[in-house]
Structure 1
């Protein structure tokens, strides 16, 4: 038998209390067209999404969706933290962390000495009040960006990845962006200085390496790769001018004195025909103005780091003669 229609004002996800308030019966709430991802709430089953499969699912959006669902039944003393909070703030995370969050459950915290959250699809945290500040972000209670970054040190063993997340927290608005930095370097420093916590040594190592002008995780990792190989630190997203003083490009990683620019080529540069054409013309303009362009792909960055560093080192030596 087809179930009766639900009141349209309930939406896709709702709490049991909300449903009962508008007259939905207990029997209707038990029907198989509704799922119960968390105790006390229901979600309308989307059969078309299920049949599409997990291979096309966006991991970050899956986490955001789960957070929004849990928020309907979240006690007032709880808030999202760690990986879940980082996703809600749209910080740049390695895919492995997103998978970990989906597999073990979203991160939900409470201030000590409160009771650690326990629920299906939730991993609970008990956090010292001195280690975290809580904000309301898009209607959800979330640890602040600086607090979130500090909490992630206990989840991440790669200092370079932790720096890349820090870069995304303090990223200044560039190229007409209306979105300001989520936190300042001083706020990150305060989070590191708040006291001992899991990963505090990594935080202390990462903090001096965080920069405000990195636009992406690959740019951050590429910069750190070069510096860790003894290559001088480049300028980030630096304006490059022609002989008349007009800006012809903004280079990802730039060595102005040597006139060398290192460009990260994301996959969209390859698959988007217009972007590919633009890249070719851009490189021609740079070379006409005397710049040497070193282009680095994602595969090269992640799997051929020594070779990438060698190419940049040779380019700088060539221009130093």
Structure 2
């Protein structure tokens, strides 16, 4: 049975570190070849346990590339805690270098070359292994949205913009996760400040790749959207040519209030997305039943939308919503027909 490797110094256990010809921090090169150490890039090592997190992989990439480089694209967006399709959660780390430096090239890194103004350079805060803080040089929030725009379908881009707007809204200040992940400069922004920064981005990057899509996503985004499925549901309803629902409409009952995901107050119809935890949690399931009964008591017509309704086949759900709206009094235009919407990628 092989001997257990000697413990690493505390400062080497939670993040990547540089390795010289003689080792690192008094640890020999032989010890650094043990199975509990990952060597993602030449001259860089990291404890295997820490290397499982995206932020530590990004930190290792920045340590390898060196100064004048920033985490960008989907890597920056994911570390900031904004929602992206599952396919982008794994894979190489995106790193952007500023001219005259060339785009970095290395195993596990997708390199880019970006002209970054001073206000487009920021620090990403995240919690890594054992909830220790990690700070990473990163492309600032608005420019990061532009870099990721070319990687996404429009509904997914709208979901990212919705999430960033929610992150900078007063609504998010009370969430337990607030402040744990995000760009340093935008931590104190409100929605007006974010709108100003987006306007500056649009003015400074005319003709840039992804700008048209990002402008469309910004125009289609709404303040108060609380999750990616809710964003996708709203875009599906609009793409199907149904009336646009209201985000954040509060319903006042006898001794209770509730804010459904989406609502049409003029017809007293609402829809709520119910993820897996609504089904697997007994307490949540019982709460949902009581809430929907209260909706009905107040004269509302609630519709449940489940995961397959978005990620398998949205069309039956869209017809169900259309029928409910019609029965409540909605009258579509002459020759109106529901436009089918394809399923979204998880």
Corresponding residue of 1:228: 239
Of residues 134, 140, 160 in structure 1, which corresponds to 2:136?
Answer: 140
Structure 1 unmatched runs, 5+: 51-60
CA-CA distance at 1:182 after TM superposition: 7.8
Structural mapping, 1:275-290, within 5 Å? 275-290=284-299
Of residues 167, 174, 177 in structure 2, which corresponds to 1:177?
Answer: 174
Tell me if the contact between 2:62 and 2:95 (Cα under 8 Å) persists in the aligned partners.
Answer: no
Structural mapping, 1:152-191, within 5 Å? 152-156=148-152, 158-171=153-166, 172-174=169-171, 177=174, 179=178, 184-191=194-201
Answer yes or no: is 1:29 the counterpart of 2:32.
yes
CA-CA distance at 1:227 after TM superposition: 1.0
CA-CA distance at 1:42 after TM superposition: 1.4
Tell me if the contact between 1:107 and 1:124 (Cα under 8 Å) persists in the aligned partners.
Answer: yes
Answer yes or no: is 1:273 the counterpart of 2:282.
yes
- CA-to-partner distance for each residue in 1:88-117, whole Å, 9 max, x for gaps? 111111112224xx1xx1000012332211
Answer yes or no: is 1:111 the counterpart of 2:111.
no
CA distance in 2, matches of 1:4, 1:88: 32
> Any idea what SS the aligned residue of 2:158 has?
helix
Tell me if the contact between 1:239 and 1:247 (Cα under 8 Å) persists in the aligned partners.
Answer: no
> Any idea what SS the aligned residue of 1:251 has?
coil
Corresponding residue of 1:83: 74
The structure-2 alpha-carbon separation of the partners of 1:200 and 1:81, relative to structure 1 and needing over 3 Å to count, comes to: same
CA distance in 2, matches of 1:161, 1:201: 15
The structure-2 alpha-carbon separation of the partners of 1:278 and 1:82, relative to structure 1 and needing over 3 Å to count, comes to: same
CA distance in 2, matches of 1:18, 1:11: 20
Pairwise CA RMSD of aligned residues? 2.7
Corresponding residue of 1:6: 8
- CA-to-partner distance for each residue in 1:121-164, whole Å, 9 max, x for gaps? 111000123598110122210111111111111212x1111111
CA distance in 1, matches of 2:26, 2:244: 64
CA-CA distance at 1:247 after TM superposition: 4.2
Structural mapping, 1:93-104, within 5 Å? 93-99=84-90, 102=91
Question: Higher relative contact order at CA 8 Å, sep ≥6: structure 1 or structure 2?
Answer: 2
Of residues 107, 131, 139 in structure 2, which corresponds to 1:120?
Answer: 107
Of residues 146, 149, 154 in structure 2, which corresponds to 1:150?
Answer: 146
Corresponding residue of 2:83: 92
> Any idea what SS the aligned residue of 1:129 has?
coil
CA-CA distance at 1:270 after TM superposition: 0.5
Q: Which moved more, 1:217-226 or 1:310-319?
A: 310-319
CA distance in 1, matches of 2:155, 2:31: 51
CA distance in 1, matches of 2:174, 2:21: 39
CA distance in 2, matches of 1:66, 1:159: 28
Tell me if the contact between 1:14 and 1:42 (Cα under 8 Å) persists in the aligned partners.
Answer: yes
Answer yes or no: is 1:199 the counterpart of 2:210.
yes
The structure-2 alpha-carbon separation of the partners of 1:4 and 1:300, relative to structure 1 and needing over 3 Å to count, comes to: closer
> Any idea what SS the aligned residue of 1:25 has?
coil
CA distance in 2, matches of 1:122, 1:21: 23
Equivalent residue pairs, number: 302
Tell me if the contact between 1:260 and 1:292 (Cα under 8 Å) persists in the aligned partners.
Answer: yes
CA distance in 2, matches of 1:20, 1:192: 47
CA-CA distance at 1:21 after TM superposition: 5.7
Structure number with the higher helix fraction is 1
> Any idea what SS the aligned residue of 1:201 has?
helix
Length-normalised TM-score, structure 1: 0.85
Structure 2 unmatched runs, 5+: 126-134, 179-186, 331-346
